[in-house]
Amino acid sequence: MATLIQAEQLSRYFGDHCAVREVDFSVARGEVLGFLGPNGAGQILINGIDLLDRPREAKSQLGYLPDNPPVYRELTVQEYLEYCAALHRIPRPARYHAIEKSKRRCGLESVAGRLIGNLSKGFQQRIGIAQAILHNPQIIILDEPTVGLDPIQIREIRALIRELGSEHGIILSTHILPEVQESCTHVQIIDQGSLVLKETIAGLERHLNTAALTIRTRDPFDFRRLQSLPGIDNIEIISPEHCRIHHDLENNPAAGIAETIIASGAGLLALVPEKKTMEEIFLALTSRQEAEEPCA
C-alpha cells in the first residue's frame, strides 16, 4: 500500500513544555488510524511531499473535519458545497461532478436544497465530511466525528468512515474508545508526548484478551495443585472454591485445569477467560505519574 503520511521524529513545544516527543508514525492508503491521547519539529511527508518545504502543495492533499463542523447555517447544503469547492480551487468544469460525488457518498442528495441550520446534527456532520472530501484528498483527518450524535447517526457515520477508508488514508482523532475498535484498522496512543502503543486493531484484540482465567468449583479445592501445569504463572486464591489463574498468553492451560478439577471430584462450575476493556488498556498505558519533562 502507498504511504500517504510519513512522520519522523516529530516533536511539538508549547513554551518549555513538550507536548509531543519524537513520535514516528505513518498512514497508508486503505488504513484508518485511530489517534488517542492528549491534545512537531521533525519531518512530515504527505503523499511524498515535505510539509516544511512545500506546505501549500502538501496541505492540498488533506481533507479536515474539526470537532465542530465548519458549516454556515444560513446556506443550503448545495450553496455551501459550491462555496467550499471554490475555496479548494477545484476548476469550474470539475466542480459539478465533485459536488455530486461528495453529496452521494455522504448521503446528502435528498437535503441538498435545505438550509443547513434546519438539519440535524447527524446531517451537519455529514456535510462537514462532504466538504473534507470534496477535492478528493489523499488523507482525511476527522476530529471526534460522532460526538453528540444519536446511536443511529453514529452507526451511519462509522459506516461512512469505513467506506472512505477503503480509498483514502484516514486519521481519526477521538476520545471515544469504542470508536477506534469500530472504525479503525490501526491505533496509536500517545501519553505525555510519547508514543506508548502502536498496534493494529487485530493486535489490540489480542491485548484485550488477558492471560487470566477465573475458576469456580462446587466443593473446596486445593488450587495450588494446579501450579505444576504448563503455562501457569501464578494462582490468586480468592476462596476455597474460587481462584484467578494468570498464565502464559501462548500456552493456555484451560484444558489441563478442567481435567484436573473434574478428576478430583470437586465439581467444575466455571472456567472463564477474563477480558480487558479498551478503557482499561488506555488507562494502564496513560496513568503514569504526571511529570512535565522537557524534550531531550
Q: How many other C-beta atoms are found inside a 10 Å radius of the C-beta of residue 123?
A: 22
8 inside domain? no
Find the farthest-apart pair of alpha carbons in the chain and give their distance in angstroms, rounded: 81
CA angle 287, 210, 203 (to 5 degrees): 85
| Residue whose C-alpha is closest to residue 172's, from 201, 208, 210, 143 | 143
145 inside domain? no
CATH for 252: 3.30.70.100
Q: Tell me the per-residue pLDDT of 180-229, one tens digit each, with 9 for 90 and over.
A: 888 888 988 887 777 777 888 877 766 665 678 999 999 999 999 999 99
| pLDDT value of position 248 | 79
What domain count does the chain have?
2
**Structural domain range at position 220:** 210-279
Which is higher by pLDDT, 190 or 292? 190
247 inside domain? yes
Cell numbers given for 88: 479548494
238 inside domain? yes
Q: Tell me the per-residue pLDDT of 215-234, one tens digit each, with 9 for 90 and over.
A: 999 999 999 999 999 989 88
Round the average pLDDT of the chain to a whole number and report it.
86
In sequence order, which residues have a C-beta less than 8 Å from that of residue 241 and are 6 or more positions away?
A: 216, 217, 218, 219, 220, 221, 269
What percent of the chain lies above the pLDDT cut of 90? Answer: 48
| Residue whose C-alpha is closest to residue 281's, from 182, 189, 171 | 189
Highest mean pLDDT, choosing among 6-15, 16-25, 78-87 = 78-87
Q: Is 75 helix (H, G, I), strand (E, B) or coil?
A: coil
Q: How many CA atoms lie within 13 A of 219 on its CB side?
A: 7
Residue 154 to residues 25, 126, 159, 179, 183: CA-CA distances in angstroms?
A: 27, 11, 9, 9, 11
Residue 196 parent element (H or E):
strand 194-200
Q: How far apart, in whole angstroms, are the C-alpha atoms of residue 111 and residue 122?
A: 12
Q: Looking at the chain, how many residues does it have?
A: 296
Q: How far apart, in whole angstroms, are the C-alpha atoms of residue 96 and residue 81?
A: 10
2 inside domain? no
228 inside domain? yes
Cell numbers given for 287: 496513568
| pLDDT value of position 71 | 93
What percent of the chain lies above the pLDDT cut of 70? Answer: 89
128 inside domain? yes
Cell numbers given for 91: 476548476
233 inside domain? yes
**Structural domain ending residue among the three candidates 108, 136, 164:** 136
